[in-house]
Chains A and B, each alone.
Chain A
Amino acid sequence: MMKKIVSAILFSVLLYYSFQMVNEMLFIKTEVNAAKDLVLEPKKTIDVFFLGTSHVYCGVNPLEIWKQSGITSFDLVTNRQPIWASYSILKQSLKQQKPAVIFFEVLGATDYVEGLIESDRGNHATHLAMDPIPLSFSKIMDVLRIDEIKKKQEMLFPVIYHHRRLVENELNSTDLLYPFTRNRNIQKGYVLSLKTEPQERSGPYPTQSIPLHPTAEKYLIKIIELCREEKIPLVLFKTPAPSSENLLMQLNGIAELADKFDIPWIDFNRLVDQIHLDYSTDFVDGGHLNVFGAKKVSAYLSQYLQEHFHLEDRRKDSKFSSWNADALHYDNRLNLQTTMLFPEYIRRLGDPHLISVITFNQSVMDHQANFQEGIQRCEVEPSDILNSSNGLICIFDAGKVIKSTSGHFVHYANDTIFNIALGISEGTKSSILVNQKEQSLNVDGVNIVVYDKDTQTILDRVAFLPTDEMQAVRDPSVVTP
């Protein structure tokens, strides 16, 4: 009998872990999976949490804060994060980390919450936030107690909500390998965006205020109480964004609430001039900052943290050396995406975190001198390009040339995550498939696709035109295929 009981227990353990694994494979992954990303950070190493929606992951860059002040911070963010999910994520995250201060970005506390209550959009956003949190008693209780989560069992067992993804062929190798990958989010939740879209500055601040939406107020107070229970200071803030008069009045309401609870309140809409925010260059779109805007907001927050919380500078602490490496890697990524010159671009592909695929068309040879250095680094003989009717393909992995060939078709799988099937035909067409998706800009010249092994995403898609200027092109819409 004892043997049978032990066997049943072992089977149950196996079933539990298999079930968890399947859940992890099935849920939708994005660039930021707050809960799982944070689990992969060493325990009690994060000093500051930034909690909120996409406005945070576009607007606050923890690595900029690190570079400026040596303070460790993390963006606990997911797309459209509903405020009830923010509350739960914060609660679960405090089991991993003991931050010295928590910042909550208040977009989730505005009438933004209205569209998320009892809607498919809200349900989906809650899944994005909650699914990466491993199942635990605490998560079960959170899900049961949050009234806004209507489909409790789906939230506890994501397989119920997501199992159709298998039959609908939505799963890719990233999903299937997700439970086995331990890649840290080296950008600490920040999502780099280089796009620029000029915006109109908001009108003057109204004097009136609008009280918070009851649901938003309920969870904001829960967050405040949780921070007080944990004896961690809370700061409310709002990233800068063109805002309607109504939103500004709601922010006034939040300011009043912050005042009532004696909580610091930073409204970047009022600090635009102080941080030198430029509405013509610092936004991706009407709500999100680009890398330049984020740098300004992060610089301010860095200084604020130093002045108000006197947090330790950990840059010279050997325990935090990975942060320096991450910052360096981040800089490389950023520089790569802003590099416009071909030789310099090829040099930057030496980053050990990257895999790059480069295709050369014959037209490159018309401007051979300009491409000389780059071609040499690819260990390609110019005559090979000239002699090949199909052009040439070169693959870099961790800075080394892995393949260089004139074949019609090259297949390279570094591991099962990265799977390239690549072909060039008739000397003018470039095709670079990464995980079955076409990524090449398909320009007559040099086409490059850079894959980031850490984030398992395409870092850059660029083409260099075979002209004297060798312009880098990144926007496919301006390139004639």
Chain B
Amino acid sequence: MYNNLNRIGLTLKSDPMKPHMALAVQRICTFNISLNSQKAFLKFELLHYLPSENSMQLTSFLFLLFFLVVSSIYYLFPSKYRWIWLLLVSYCFYGIGNINSVGLLILVTVTTWYGGNLIAGARHNHRIRNSSAHQKIILAACVLLNIGILVFYKYSNFAIYNLNRILRIGQIPPIQFTFNWIMPIGISFFILQALTYPIDIYRGKINPEKNPLKYALFVSFFPQILSGPIGRAKNMLPQISTNHQFDFDRIKHGMWRMLWGFFQKMVIGDRLSIFIASVFDDPVVFQHGGIINWIAMVFFGLQIYYDFAGYSNIAIGAAQILGYSIPVNFLRPYFSKSVTEFWKRWHISLTSWFRDYLYIPLGGNRVGKIRHAANILIVFLVSGLWHGANWTFIIWGLLNGFYQLIELSLKSVLKPIIGQRSFQLNSFGWKSLRVVMVFFLTDFAWIFFRSNTIHDAFGFIKGLFYFNPQILLDDQLYQYGLTRINMQILLIALVISVTVSWLQRSGSICEKMDRQPFWFRWAVILTGIFAILLLGIYGPNVDTSQFIYTKF
């Protein structure tokens, strides 16, 4: 199976429109450790020894080593100056493999900080006549510049590609030019994060941060910078100025959260990805997949959740160890009873960003019905585009928007009968049916998200109607990269995960664990660690370690 991984490796999109992130380890630091023996100097070129691919992925050995060293030294610093250490290591973390993007990070940091502070200055400067307009202009300039950077890096080639298609219709010679660059990693996340600062200052929700270096840490905070969760200046900046004390329980809980994240990503997410890649990336398979397509569709819905929720838990746990509190990114989304609810529980930091900084400024739901519908579609269109420069993402976004519109319409149409005996929507039967329906609707939309092209997506959907239930009776299911034992491991891991989700409903798992005797906690944690080590998908010839969302 593992040898197959190379062949079917998790390269999400092969479309040239979707720039692939290439991480290359640079030799950035060389340590000389002095030993008191006759071998006086041992050259310890740390980074030189580590692999050049995925080397700073959060599930990599390098990250674990990096984090161990960083967090240990962090608590050796006087608490007042710990943020300086974090700033330094955050830039090192981002710089490894992305040294060329550091300049861009600084540019975003400087423009948003300066823009925010200019807005605050304009507000308090009584010599400026039309202060409000002045602030608005600064904010617009700041937003346009930063969104412009994002658009320029992310969508230039997509724009040229689509323009050429239009030109081709008009038989006009196409533009013979494409930008040949690697999209800076994390750009979609840290730009949105940084923009919360000038916007919230404009809205009067926060005070300006006087120390640009503290602000730089807010933008570059290493647990978040690659793939979020997208922080808010309002939440993060005060924490940077707080003296973080060594708190044993907080650190312990942070480690547990990280461990759970590793389990979600490496045992479940990456195992699912093997099956998914062998179906989605092979038209010969998915065009007549039938049951296999159904399974792959459901598996991808689960994979993207476990991949990104796993990432988020590792990031939140790492921040927690360092004393920072980052809000959760996922709240058991697949237990949602409506698509609207799903989007309140899925990738919360992004959806709430779009809600607060796009949907509400557009008027939200306090406008006419048509405008409201348009607002929803605009938000989902932008959300789709944010995920990537490809029509598949746009369709995925719009489809989710339409789901919400249909849901809203049904709500008003069915209003008279909801609550009647047969329509007690909060009864167990209805709730279960709604959860299952939402799960399948979102899974169906994920087909577009996962497919390499729209053509592939429709081919895959066509394959769903191929009738072949007999393959469940033989071993054909195990021909797609996951052997019987891997399927069994997957099933057990999913049962564990659902159980944990169920337990989370009545309160924090960490608190529940704390109430257990030490031997029970130790047994659970050791089992978790060894389950990841022994059953995780990693190691030689495995190419699934990259998180899906680091590509966006």
Contacts and interface: CB of A to CB of B under 8 A. Distances in A.
Chain A contact surface mostly: helix
Contacts of A151: 51, 540
Contacts of B489: 167
Contacts of A153: 50, 61
Nearest to A157: B61
Interface residues of B, number: 29
A18 B534 CA distance: 13
A152 B534 contact: no
Given A163-B536, A167-B489, A22 B49 contact: no
Given A18-B526, A22-B533, A159-B534, A164 B42 contact: no
Contacts of A169: 485
Interface string B509-528: 00000000010001001100
Interface string A438-454: 00000000000000000
B535 A11 contact: no
Contacts of A164: 2, 539
Contact of B42 (A5, A18, A141): A141
B538 interface: yes
Interface in A4-38: 4-5, 7-8, 11, 14-15, 18-19, 22
A168 interface: yes
A14 B526 contact: yes
Interface string A154-166: 1001011101101
Contacts of B529: 15
A161 B530 contact: no
A88 to B, nearest CB: 15
Interface in A120-167: 141, 144-145, 151-154, 157, 159-161, 163-164, 166-167
B486 interface: yes
Chain B contact surface mostly: helix
A1 interface: yes
Contacts of B1: 167-168
Nearest to B532: A163
Nearest to B486: A167
Nearest to B248: A4
A14 B522 CA distance: 9
B248 A166 contact: no
B402 interface: no
Nearest to A159: B533
B478 interface: no
B44 interface: yes
A7 to B, nearest CB: 7
B539 A152 contact: no
Contacts of A144: 44, 49
Given A141-B42, A151-B51, A160 B539 contact: yes
Contacts of B534: 22, 159, 163, 166-167
Nearest to A5: B248
Interface string B45-69: 0000111000000000100000000
Nearest to A21: B530
B486 A11 contact: no
A154 B540 contact: yes
B61 A18 contact: no
Contacts of A1: 248
Contacts of A141: 42
Contacts of A161: 539-540
B485 A163 contact: no
Given A141-B42, A144-B44, A163 B539 contact: yes
Nearest to A156: B61
Interface string B487-525: 001000000000000000000000000000010001001
Contact of B485 (A5, A11, A154, A167): A167
A438 B175 CA distance: 69
B46 to A, nearest CB: 8
B485 A18 contact: no
Interface in B7-51: 42-44, 49-51
Interface string B216-257: 000000000000000000000000000000001100100000
A92 to B, nearest CB: 16
Contacts of A8: 248, 252
B405 to A, nearest CB: 45
B103 to A, nearest CB: 31
A7 B49 contact: no
A422 to B, nearest CB: 27
A380 to B, nearest CB: 42
A169 B483 CA distance: 11
A1 B252 CA distance: 13
B59 to A, nearest CB: 12
A141 B31 CA distance: 14
Contacts of B518: 7
A153 B49 CA distance: 9
Interface string A162-202: 01101111000000000000000000000000000000000
B186 to A, nearest CB: 24
A128 to B, nearest CB: 15
Contacts of A14: 522, 526
A167 B536 CA distance: 10
Contacts of B530: 18, 22
A223 to B, nearest CB: 16
Contacts of B51: 151
Given A160-B538, A167-B489, A152 B248 contact: no
A15 B526 contact: yes
B494 to A, nearest CB: 16
A152 B2 contact: no
Contacts of B485: 167, 169
Residue among A22, A141, A164, A168 with the highest chain B CB neighbour number at 10 A: A164
A4 B253 CA distance: 13
Contacts of B535: 163, 166-167
Nearest to A166: B534
Residue among A144, A161, A167 with the highest chain B CB neighbour number at 10 A: A167
A275 B296 CA distance: 68
A145 B42 contact: yes
B182 to A, nearest CB: 24
A157 B539 CA distance: 11
Contacts of A160: 61, 538-540
B391 to A, nearest CB: 38
B434 to A, nearest CB: 37
A11 B1 CA distance: 35
A159 B532 CA distance: 11
A11 B536 CA distance: 22
A160 B51 CA distance: 14
A290 B249 CA distance: 63
A11 B539 CA distance: 26
Given A22-B534, A164-B2, A166-B534, A152 B526 contact: no
Contacts of A7: 518
A235 B466 CA distance: 72
Contacts of A167: 1, 483, 485-486, 489, 534-535
Contacts of B538: 160, 163
A123 B511 CA distance: 45
A159 B535 CA distance: 11
Nearest to B539: A160
B244 to A, nearest CB: 17
Contacts of B43: 145
11 contacts: A5-B248, A15-B529, A22-B534, A145-B43, A151-B51, A160-B61, A163-B533, A163-B534, A167-B483, A167-B486, A169-B485
Given A8-B248, A161-B540, 17 more contacts: A7-B518, A8-B252, A11-B525, A14-B526, A15-B526, A22-B530, A144-B49, A145-B42, A151-B540, A154-B539, A160-B539, A163-B539, A164-B2, A164-B539, A166-B535, A167-B535, A169-B485
Interface of B: 1-2, 42-44, 49-51, 61, 248-249, 252, 483, 485-486, 489, 518, 522, 525-526, 529-530, 533-536, 538-540
Pairs of residues from A and B, 5 with the lowest C-beta to C-beta distance, nearest first: A153-B61, A152-B49, A4-B248, A160-B539, A166-B534
